[in-house]
């Protein structure tokens, strides 16, 4: 133990301060322990309800059965997950390229932004389920169809957030770059893009979840035509066959995927911002 630690240990602390330290420690443990307890309790309750009411497996399977199904059907389910994941990540990548590209274009000219932004909003507010039949008619390739669908859903938060970020640069810094004879490109690269980073990453976090939703929705609509092999089509298929355990297993996989995508993007965001941005600082404390 270092001298400093010993010092902290032996420093007399007033009861109020001691209580605050205790509370902070408790909160830190509680933040992961409490949800875990609730989840375990919920799963146990789910199991008990099935047993107590004698609910048949094709209506509500017991959690254990879902787990066994997940392991038994692993080959099928995970290959489907891979299909969905591929669409999700590809569309997210395209959303990043499209969203950032468009927002950079917007900041180059107010007039381009004025002309195009309303259409981005139109695309955003129209429910994707309503657009999809059209895409289904006009686009032949299955992957392109799904990609387009997921992209439409995912790109808007990136576009709007990054545009906001690129435009929220400190006026003095822009003057400062002007004073130093910076070109438009230099100002973009050295000033606007880094300044927009927190906004972009915020948009990316939302877009990650939306890309998954877009991919699943697209598969659902396409899957009813029996054309898809993603997780959504597994759910539809299982629904037709009253195979509730597999339906639950697929559902849980989708959820887990969403959570992992969110955590991954949060982690990337933290890595990029933790040294300088306020939002990331609070996380550390």
Partner 1 sequence: MPDRKSPFLILQSIGKTFASGVTALENVNLTVNEGDFMSLLGPSGCGKSTALRIIAGLSSPTSGVVDWRRAPLKQNDIGFVFQEPTLLPWASVYDNVWMPLRLRGVSRKDAEPQIAEVLERVHLTGFENAVPRELSGGMKMRVSIARGLVTRPRILLMDEPFAALDEITRFKLNNDLLELWQARGFTVIFVTHSVFESVFLSNRITVMAARPGRVYKEVAVDAPYPRAQSFRTSPEYAALCRNTSDVLVEAINATAEDLEAVDHVGH
Q: Does 197 contact partner 1 by CB under 8 A?
A: yes
Q: Does 17 contact partner 1 by CB under 8 A?
A: no
Q: Which is nearer to partner 1, 7 or 275 (CB)?
A: 275
Q: Does 30 contact partner 1 by CB under 8 A?
A: no
Give the Å distances, CA to CA, from 145 to 20, 88, 164: 55, 13, 30
Residues 6 or more apart in contact with residue 113 via CB below 8 angstroms? 106, 107, 163
Q: Which is nearer to partner 1, 17 or 170 (CB)?
A: 170
Residue 67 CA to residue 74 CA, distance in Å, equals 10
Quick one: which segment of 107-115, 181-189, 230-238, 242-250 binds partner 1 (CB under 8 A)? Answer: 181-189
> Least distance (Å) from partner 1 to the CB of residue 176?
6
Q: Which of 48, 178, 184, 241 binds partner 1 (CB under 8 A)?
A: 178
Q: Which is nearer to partner 1, 19 or 178 (CB)?
A: 178
Residue 8 CA to residue 5 CA, distance in Å, equals 5
Q: Does 181 contact partner 1 by CB under 8 A?
A: yes
> Least distance (Å) from partner 1 to the CB of residue 202?
15
Q: What is the 3-state secondary structure (H, E, C) of 43-84?
A: HHHHHHHHHHHCCCCCCCCCHHHHHHHHHHCHHHHHHHHHHH
Q: How far apart are the first and last CA of the chain?
A: 23
Q: Does 190 contact partner 1 by CB under 8 A?
A: yes
Burial class (CB in 10 A: 0-12, 13-18, 19+), 171: exposed
Binders of partner 1 in range 266-285 (CB under 8 A):
275-277, 281
Residue 242: CB atoms within 10 A of its CB come to 11
Give how many residues touch partner 1 by CB under 8 A.
20
Residues 262 and 247: beta-carbon distance below 8 Å: no
> Least distance (Å) from partner 1 to the CB of residue 283?
15
Q: Does 11 contact partner 1 by CB under 8 A?
A: no
Q: Which is nearer to partner 1, 27 or 170 (CB)?
A: 170
Binders of partner 1 in range 117-176 (CB under 8 A):
170, 172-173, 175-176
Say which DSSP state 227 is in. -
Q: Does 182 contact partner 1 by CB under 8 A?
A: yes
* Residues at the site binding partner 1, with contacts judged by CB under 8 A: 170, 172-173, 175-182, 186, 190-191, 194, 197, 275-277, 281
């Amino acid at each position: 133990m270092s001298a400093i630690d010993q010092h902290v240990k032996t420093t007399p602390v007033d009861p109020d301060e001691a209580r605050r330290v205790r509370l902070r420690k408790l909160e830190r443990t509680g933040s992961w322990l409490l949800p875990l307890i609730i989840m375990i309790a919920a799963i146990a309750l789910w199991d008990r309800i099935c047993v107590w009411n004698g609910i048949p497996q094709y209506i509500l399977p017991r959690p254990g059965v879902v787990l066994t199904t997940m392991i038994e059907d692993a080959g099928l389910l995970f290959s489907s997950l891979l299909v969905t994941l591929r669409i999700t990540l590809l569309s997210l990548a395209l959303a990043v390229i499209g969203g950032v590209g468009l927002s950079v274009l917007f900041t180059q000219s107010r007039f381009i932004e004025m002309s195009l932004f309303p259409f981005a909003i139109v695309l955003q507010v129209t429910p994707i389920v309503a657009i999809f039949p059209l895409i289904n008619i006009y686009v032949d390739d299955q992957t392109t169809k799904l990609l387009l669908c997921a992209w439409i859903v995912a790109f808007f938060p990136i576009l709007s957030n990054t545009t906001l970020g690129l435009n929220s640069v400190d006026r003095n810094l822009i003057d400062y770059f002007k004073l130093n004879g910076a070109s438009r490109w230099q100002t973009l690269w050295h000033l606007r893009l880094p300044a927009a980073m927190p906004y972009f990453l915020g948009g990316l976090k939302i877009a990650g979840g939306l890309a998954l939703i877009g991919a699943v929705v697209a598969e659902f609509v396409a899957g009813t035509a029996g054309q898809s092999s993603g997780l959504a089509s597994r759910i539809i298929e299982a629904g037709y066959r009253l195979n509730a355990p597999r339906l639950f297993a697929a559902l849980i996989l989708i959820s887990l995927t969403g959570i992992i995508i969110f955590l991954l993007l949060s982690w990337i965001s933290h890595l990029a911002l933790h040294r300088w941005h306020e939002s990331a600082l609070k996380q550390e404390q």
